[in-house]
Amino acid sequence: MFEERKGMISAMAAYIIWGFFPVYWKLLEHVNSIEILLNRIIWSFIFTTIFIFIIGQKSKLIEDLKWLWQEKKTFFLLLLASFVISCNWFLYIWAVTNEHVVETSLGYYINPLITVLFGLFLFKEQLSKAQIVAVFIAFIGVALMTIRYGKIPWVALGLACSFAVYGALKKKIQLDATRGLAIETLFILPFALVYYGFLMFTNNTSFLQFDWKTDVFLMLGGLVTAYPLILFAKGAQALPQSILGFIQYFSPTIILILGTVVYKEPFTNIELISFGFIWLAILLFSLSTVLENRKKRKFA
């Protein structure tokens, strides 16, 4: 139970930080989305590796790399996770910097439904009747929002599916969260460096070309990327997919508030009704989870 509690705190912290991400990426609206992505990958690797060296885990990182080379299945799972999270990062950055903050919120409201279904079908996790009802209620809310848009929300679905896949992969990969992130970014680093070199050669970059604030925000993007991902990995390893799925609603709720209140994106009565369904589902699922845990402790 102690490990699960720590996982809960880590996961909640990660999603609260992610909720405020639009504020950060809005500061880089003048930078091409691809360049922001490349900087996220490069600086995430640099900051994470420096941290590993500072805490004296260089030898453990080398051991992890050797172990991965022997465990080919885990190696390719981590390689796939690296590719999937890179796609997720790009979609998110593009959406935020192109006035689609509310749609990113929709994506991360859909994501927990997919995560819960992954837990049910891939990890054979059991849901109570109340939890199944909660998932159904949340699905109604998401369906109403989809109808409101009048078209298939490709950005939202892309964000939802990519992060659900990433979470499922991370649950299967039993690596230390920090070293795992360093290796993930190491996998995609060569591609990022080569493509960044191409952009610099064609003079299509802002780094070291615009102003010092842009340079600092691009570099620190690696830090703000790495920290919540490490927290998320700890949470994903300690928590059932079903619980992890509903903690994820912290992030889109914050994003929604930012999109409507701060960035003045439209929020109609239909969206209010849709979110009402989702909030009801969260409440029902949370109460059900608390009661289930109390029963387990009572009969333990």
Amino acid identity for residue 243 in this structure:
I
Tokens of 15: 């999603």
Question: In angstroms, rounded to a whole number, what is the distance separating the alpha carbons of residues 156 and 210?
Answer: 31
Say how many CA atoms lie within 13 Å of 247 toward its Cβ.
25
pLDDT, mean of residues 39-67: 91
CA angle, 175 then 293 then 241, to 5°: 35
- Is the pLDDT assigned to residue 59 strictly greater than 90? yes
| Local confidence band at 146 (pLDDT 50, 70, 90 cut-offs) | confident
Q: Where are the domains of the chain?
A: 2-126+153-265
Res 191: pLDDT: 92
Which residues, 6+ apart, have CB-to-CB distance to 130 below 8 Å?
Answer: 284, 285, 287, 288
What pLDDT shows up at residue 4? 76
Which tokens go with 141?
């809310």
pLDDT in tens, 4-29: 778 888 888 998 998 998 999 989 98
Residue 190 confidence (pLDDT) above 90: yes
pLDDT value at residue 297: 64
- Per-residue pLDDT tens digits for 235-292: 877 787 667 766 777 888 898 889 888 888 877 787 788 878 878 887 887 777 777 7
Q: Over range 25-37, report the average pLDDT.
A: 91
Tell me how crowded residue 161 is: count the other CB atoms within 10 A of its CB: 17
pLDDT mean across residues, the chain: 84
Written as six digits, the tokens of 266 are 């439209």
Q: Quick one: pLDDT at residue 296?
A: 65
Which residue from 236, 265, 272 is spatially nearest to 99, judged by alpha carbons?
Answer: 265
Q: What is the pTM of this model?
A: 0.80
